Amino acid sequence: MPALLQKRPKIKSIDLPFEKPCYEGLTLSREEYLDLEEDGFKYDMIEGVLHLAPSGEFDHGKLQGNLITEINIFLKKYSIGKAVTEIDVFLPDGEDVVRPDVSFILSENLHIVKTHIHGVPDLVCEVLSLGSMKRDLGVKAQRYLKNGVREYWIVYPKEKKIELWINKNKKEWNKLSSPILKSSLLKGFKINQKDFFK
């Protein structure tokens, strides 16, 4: 167990929330990650290092809600999988734990859902913020690509635009942006960008 965790007193629920994150920058295994006491903050674990995933502002929450609503409306008509928000995803290469704003899993792949998601979502969505943009567009995007996420939907709140990145053989993203974005994974699912940001 890392020295920081050994020295830290056990966290009690009555102590929450903490004013500062307890685990930012900590290097640990996925097993140790699962044993962490809750400190009231969200983290991504990239290459074994915990990175704070800051709480989104009002617009972030609104746009995340818009995304999951659009997807769930589609899934009520076409029951082809399940979508969830902010659930830990344990990527199969054994290195990372990430928490996308939205994860979608096709019905035939729902066996990867345990308490968390242990495998690769078919589709993930991220609403960018200043604190996470560099990571979401950089190292996390590469981890999603390498592990086989098929579609990556990225929302830019300030620019009021969405990009759809499609995985090409785990080697590169085909990046699309148009007034109406159409999913190649969810046949018939589309987002009108103008309406989405109203």
pLDDT of residue 18: 61
CATH topology of domain 58-196: tt1808, chain A (3.90.1570)
Q: Domain map of the chain by residue range?
A: 3-41, 58-196
Q: Tell me the per-residue pLDDT of 16-54, one tens digit each, with 9 for 90 and over.
A: 556 788 888 888 888 888 888 888 788 888 888 888 876
Q: Is the pLDDT of residue 12 over 80?
A: no
Return d(Cα 57, Cα 96) in angstroms, integer. 25
Question: pTM for this structure?
Answer: 0.83
Identify the pLDDT of residue 56. Answer: 67
Q: Where are the beta strands (DSSP E) in the chain?
A: 43-46, 49-52, 81-85, 89-90, 97-98, 102-106, 117-118, 123-127, 151-156, 161-168, 172-176, 180-182, 190-192
Give the confidence band of 10 by pLDDT, cuts at 50, 70, 90. Answer: very low
Please give the distance of CA 118 from its chain centroid, rounded to a whole number. 13
Closest-CA residue to 195 (of 178, 176, 175, 180): 180
Instruction: Give per-residue pLDDT as tens, 49-83.
Output: 888 876 667 888 899 999 999 999 999 999 999 99
Q: What mean pLDDT value characterizes the chain? A: 88
